[in-house]
Amino acid sequence: MADELIHSFAGGTLNRAALERPLEGFVDAQLTSATAQIISFAGDRALIDVSDDQPKLHLVTHGDLPNSGPIPPIFLGLREDESPVFAQFTDVLDDGAPATSFPDHIKAIDLRSLAGQAILPPEELGLLAYARSLTAWHSAHRFCANCGHATVIKTGGDRRHCDACQREHYPRTDPVAIMLVHKGDKCLLGRGRHFEELRYSALAGFVETGETIEEAARREILEESGVLVGSISYHSSQPWPFVSSLMIGLMGEALSEDIVMDEAELEDVRWFSRADAKAMLDGTHEQGFSAPPPLAIAHHLLQSFVNA
């Protein structure tokens, strides 16, 4: 069996302690443990210790938390040595800067930069993605969607409970189908209006209610490009913590070639040869076209097409 492809933001190794979480006093005991580690975020940026040549997560204990933030520490799980790991928001100002002052060697860095520059080991980046998605969900869901009353965190943060109507609320992940469509020796790529100049990527869209992954992929490709897709195969998946999506990577065979672009969604969509795709990945395309960086699953979908 081929080695599993581990994307950026994947590969987390924590034991999420699903059986122990509900036990009375378990999470509180983990939080006050001498070995507890708390990851801090300033808004959507992680606090990183850059005092050494190798940057690392800025980890604090419960007693060293600078402030309570909008939500209490969220329990993420246990490391292999049984040390508990939590995540915590720190307050931010209107300009997005941390409200609490930190030493010069502590920097607030966004997750895209951490991944793109390979600042942290893969397992720590996966941990950050998990922490960022979960704390963002708690920050945005402090009130019950059923009755509007405030909710409370239960079992360390894997759900919220409404005491008024007894409704349970669980963190959600939004599935996104992203597909590299190919026909013969060429592939279909598009660019959104927010993309970096001359960058092209695989087409993607959210899986809607009542759809299979395959149905969503075919619909998105048809809506955005007018191209019909037949057979589809699974490639790999990637957690995408912006805010909490799961990118489901697919390869699809086109049944048609004529393009009718959705101008509201895309700035351009076109067919590229395999040689073009390779040059885009290598950064040597004569027209300056480029592919997404390795942190994105689209990069690896395109690489698979080039290697086929």
Q: Is the pLDDT of residue 59 over 70?
A: yes
98 vs 26, more confident: 26
- 268 near 37, Cβ under 8 Å? no
Reading the block at residue 171, the tokens are: 């963190």
247-256 pLDDT per residue, tens: 999 999 999 9
Q: Which residues pair with 191 in a beta bridge?
A: 268
270-297 pLDDT per residue, tens: 999 999 999 999 999 999 999 999 999 9
| Range in 30-44, 88-102, 218-232, 236-250 with the lowest mean pLDDT | 88-102
pLDDT of residue 65: 66
Distance (Å, whole) CA 295 – CA 108: 20
Q: Is the pLDDT of residue 64 over 90?
A: no
Do 203 and 277 sit in the same domain of this protein? Answer: yes
Distance (Å, whole) CA 123 – CA 252: 30
Counting the structural domains of the chain, the total is: 2
Q: Up-side HSE of residue 265: CA atoms within 13 Å toward CB?
A: 15
Q: Which residue in the block uniquely carries the two structure tokens 């060429």?
A: 186
- 59 near 36, Cβ under 8 Å? no
Do 228 and 273 sit in the same domain of this protein? Answer: yes
Domain region containing 70? 26-140
Do 208 and 285 sit in the same domain of this protein? Answer: yes
Distance (Å, whole) CA 13 – CA 105: 27
Q: Is the pLDDT of residue 210 over 90?
A: yes
Do 93 and 183 sit in the same domain of this protein? Answer: no
